[in-house]
Amino acid sequence: MILTLMLFIGSVFANDSMYWIKVDAQDKFQRSTVANTGAVIEVINDDYVVALGNKDELKALEKTGMVLQSFPIDLRTFDFPERDRNFHNYNEVIEFMTDLQTRFPSLVKIEDIGASIEGRKIYNIRI
Chain segment 46-74, per-residue pLDDT in tens: 999 999 999 999 999 999 999 999 999 87
Domains assigned to the chain: 2-10+78-126 (no CATH), 17-73 (3.30.70.1150)
Digit-coded pLDDT (tens) for 74-87: 766 666 677 777 88
Rg over CA atoms, the chain: 19
Tell me the CB-side half-sphere exposure of residue 64, using CA atoms within 13 A. Answer: 21
CA 24, CA 89: separation in Å to the nearest integer?
34
Ramachandran angles phi, psi of 76, nearest 5°: -65, -15
Q: What is the pLDDT of residues 88-113, one digit of tens each?
A: 888 888 999 999 999 999 999 999 99
Assessment of whether the complete model's pTM goes beyond 0.85:
no
Distance of CA 27 to the CA centre of its chain: 27
Report in angstroms the alpha-carbon separations of 22 from 31, 70, 92, 114: 12, 6, 32, 34
